[in-house]
Amino acid sequence: MKTARDWIESLCLSKHPEGGYYRETYRSETAFAGPGFTGPRVVSTAIYFLLPADEVSALHRIKSDELWHFYAGQPLTIYMIAAHGQAATIGLSGDQPQAIVPAGCWFGATVASEYALVGCTVAPGFDFYDFEMGDRTALLMAYPQHRFIIERLTKLTGSG
């Protein structure tokens, strides 16, 4: 059985700002200018994403829908907080191999043991201009009812 390190090396994955490791595998050549975006975006992108058990995918949001695909390893739990405050979790595994995170939701993920290797397809395509990391203080003020998720999937920032 492959280890997380084996996958990271064989797939040439790099550290991701949210946690885990990734590599873009597809970026469509077709682009469009859509409402809500700062400029043209490609129609779709795809990545490999590996999350080791000793890391989390920190809460973040993007302006596009993101479809997750399970490939290998242990089940992954995706946590989501919608703009109106409703929270949901999705277990991504061989029994539930796909999940969707709607555009604009705060989301992050954990894996209980070893690692999870997944893929993420984003449409309209991913652009770091559309990527926002969650701020613990701001999220706790907006969604105090989800303290457990927010504290687990964000870092304490600032002084004091």
Q: What is the CATH number of the domain that holds 26?
A: 2.60.120.10
The one-letter amino acid code at 150 reads: I
CA dihedral 9→16→26→68, nearest 10 degrees, is: 100
In a domain? residue 157? no
Question: Is the model's pLDDT at 70 over the cut of 80?
Answer: yes
Mean pLDDT of 10-25: 97
Mean pLDDT of 25-51: 94
In a domain? residue 128? yes
pLDDT for 144 equals 98
Mean pLDDT of 39-54: 96
Reported confidence tier of residue 128, pLDDT bands at 50, 70, 90 = very high
Reported confidence tier of residue 157, pLDDT bands at 50, 70, 90 = low
Those residues whose C-beta lies under 8 Å from the C-beta of residue 149, and which sit 6 or more positions away, are 59, 79, 81, 87, 108
Question: Is the model's pLDDT at 80 over the cut of 70?
Answer: yes
In a domain? residue 13? yes
In a domain? residue 87? yes
Quote the number of domains for the chain: 1
Contact 79, 153 (CB under 8 A): yes
Return mean pLDDT, the chain. Answer: 95
Range of the domain at 10: 4-104+118-152
pLDDT for 159 equals 41
Mean pLDDT of 13-41: 94
In a domain? residue 86? yes
In a domain? residue 11? yes
State percent of the chain over pLDDT 90.
Answer: 91
- Say which residue, 160 or 109, is predicted with more confidence: 109
Mean pLDDT of 69-86: 97
In a domain? residue 143? yes
In a domain? residue 28? yes
